[in-house]
């Protein structure tokens, strides 16, 4: 398949004839932005803001500048960067827009008029791990905690988040990565999936039995929930990748009852052979995309791998833009793929 990039290490690879209908006749990949200092600026969140044609991303944990220390985060920080997409790639700009009171953010999503981030918190639990709403997409970037504990017990290190478009409930994962990375206290809770309903101020544990639940997304019809388990990666620097560990996507049916939804019929949707599935999204046809160790892998609704967007170094998270565009976080680089113009992300439907 065709490609357009600054590296021979990116390409489209088909595993099923249906992949052609996704990538269209003229697929391409371009390098949108690169961190000139080699820092892992483009790691997670990846939230598309249509009004300004910009993407909000969170960095990986990067060392504090020389002379600065913070024992509560093991001398590391995470920044939020906003990248403004431009037709002329020479004019693409990025800006540090990290809200002052947002501590070690990770995943994020569009929410109401602004943005919703997963704050992992620090060793002191002040501020805690939880969900932080940023109501303005322009300065000043004020913050507001929506939830900061499970009935008084501290979350481990909230990782990724989605919003149910019908009932407004917020679903999120809470693995224990922060503890193993030296930025959080010892866990007080199992690694679980939660549902928070802001209008009711209620919080429920929805699914457990994960090693490290990570990304999550709804199917377009909101009848299924997909959750990635990245248990093969411990998070500790001195622990190697576990080749026999969890590197899987699980699917649940969402059973609606008079007392609220329940997750039933848990099943293995897919196993990833290259790295772990991290961020996960669906398109409006129900195909499932996930950032993996070799790029973005794509399955049909039946769990059959139909194709890959190969990117050397892999992809942690990504988001759909408009008319078939896909923005992909590759640590030091932010890539932009053009799929078929008919492709729409289920989240925004653009």
Question: Three-class SS string for 276-318?
Answer: CCCCEEEECCCCEEEEECCEEEEECCCCCEEEEEEECCCCCCE
Task: Report, as an integer, the average pLDDT of 50-57.
Answer: 98
Query: What residues form DSSP beta bridges with 14?
Result: 307
Q: Poorest-confidence range of 124-128, 245-249, 291-295, 335-339? A: 124-128
Tell me whether residue 59 is exposed, middle or buried, using C-beta atoms within 10 angstroms of its C-beta: 0 to 12, 13 to 18, 19 or more. Answer: buried
Q: What is the pTM of this model?
A: 0.97
Query: What residues form DSSP beta bridges with 194?
Result: 172, 205
User: What is the reported pLDDT for 343?
Assistant: 98
Contact 32, 335 (CB under 8 A): yes
Residue 91: phi and psi, rounded to 5, are -110, 5
Question: What confidence category does residue 9 fall into, taking pLDDT thresholds of 50, 70 and 90?
Answer: confident
Q: Where are the domains of the chain?
A: 38-284
Which H or E run contains 163? Answer: strand 161-163
Give the dihedral sign, CA 18/22/27/29: negative
Q: Which two tokens stand for residue 81?
A: 């960067």
Question: What confidence category does residue 3 fall into, taking pLDDT thresholds of 50, 70 and 90?
Answer: very low
Task: Report, as an integer, the average pLDDT of 222-242.
Answer: 96
Question: What confidence category does residue 5 fall into, taking pLDDT thresholds of 50, 70 and 90?
Answer: very low
Question: What confidence category does residue 67 fall into, taking pLDDT thresholds of 50, 70 and 90?
Answer: confident
Q: How far apart are CA 151 and CA 61, in angstroms?
A: 28
Task: Report, as an integer, the average pLDDT of 269-297.
Answer: 98
User: What is the reported pLDDT for 2?
Assistant: 39
Q: What is the CATH number of domain 38-284?
A: 2.120.10.30
Give the dihedral sign, CA 77/290/281/172: negative
Q: Which two tokens stand for residue 309?
A: 């967007």
Question: What confidence category does residue 8 fall into, taking pLDDT thresholds of 50, 70 and 90?
Answer: low
Query: What residues form DSSP beta bridges with 261?
Result: 256
Q: Are strands 28-34 and 44-49 parallel, antiparallel or unpaired?
A: unpaired
Instruction: Reply yes or no on whether the pLDDT at 252 is more than 50.
Output: yes
Q: How far apart are CA 61 and CA 340, in angstroms?
A: 34
What value, to the nearest 5°, has the Cα angle with vertex 146 and ends 144 and 151? 135
DSSP per residue, 312-342: TT--S-EEE-STTEEEEE-BSEEEEEE--TT
Contact 12, 307 (CB under 8 A): yes
């Amino acid at each position: 398949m065709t490609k357009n990039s600054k590296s021979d290490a990116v390409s489209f690879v088909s595993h099923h004839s249906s992949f052609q209908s996704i990538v269209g006749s003229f697929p391409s990949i371009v390098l949108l932005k690169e961190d000139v200092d080699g820092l892992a600026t483009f790691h997670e969140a990846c939230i598309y803001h249509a009004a300004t044609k910009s993407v909000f991303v969170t960095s990986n944990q990067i060392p504090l500048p020389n002379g600065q220390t913070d024992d509560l985060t093991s001398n590391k920080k995470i920044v939020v960067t906003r990248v403004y997409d431009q037709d002329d790639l020479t004019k693409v700009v990025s800006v540090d827009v990290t809200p002052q009171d947002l501590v070690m953010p990770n995943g994020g999503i569009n929410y109401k008029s602004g943005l919703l981030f997963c704050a992992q918190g620090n060793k002191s639990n002040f501020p805690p791990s939880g969900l932080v709403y940023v109501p303005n997409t322009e300065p000043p970037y004020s913050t507001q905690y929506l939830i900061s504990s499970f009935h008084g017990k501290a979350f481990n290190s909230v990782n990724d988040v989605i919003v149910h478009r019908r009932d407004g409930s917020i679903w999120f994962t809470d693995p224990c990565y922060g503890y193993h990375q030296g930025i959080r206290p010892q866990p007080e809770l199992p690694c679980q999936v939660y549902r928070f309903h802001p209008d009711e101020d209620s919080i429920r544990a929805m699914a457990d039995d994960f090693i490290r639940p990570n990304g999550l997304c709804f199917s377009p019809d909101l009848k299924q929930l997909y959750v990635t388990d990245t248990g093969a990666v411990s998070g500790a620097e001195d622990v190697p990748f576990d080749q026999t560990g969890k590197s899987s996507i699980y699917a649940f049916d969402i059973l609606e009852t008079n007392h609220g939804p329940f997750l039933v019929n848990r099943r293995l949707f897919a196993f990833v052979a290259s790295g772990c599935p991290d961020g996960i999204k669906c398109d409006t046809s129900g195909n499932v995309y996930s950032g993996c160790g070799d790029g973005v892998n794509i399955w049909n609704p039946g769990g059959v791998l139909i194709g890959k967007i190969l990117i050397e170094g892999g992809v942690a998270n990504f988001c759909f833009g408009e008319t078939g565009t896909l923005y992909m976080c590759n640590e030091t680089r932010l890539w932009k793929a053009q799929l078929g113009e008919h492709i729409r992300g289920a989240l925004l439907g653009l």
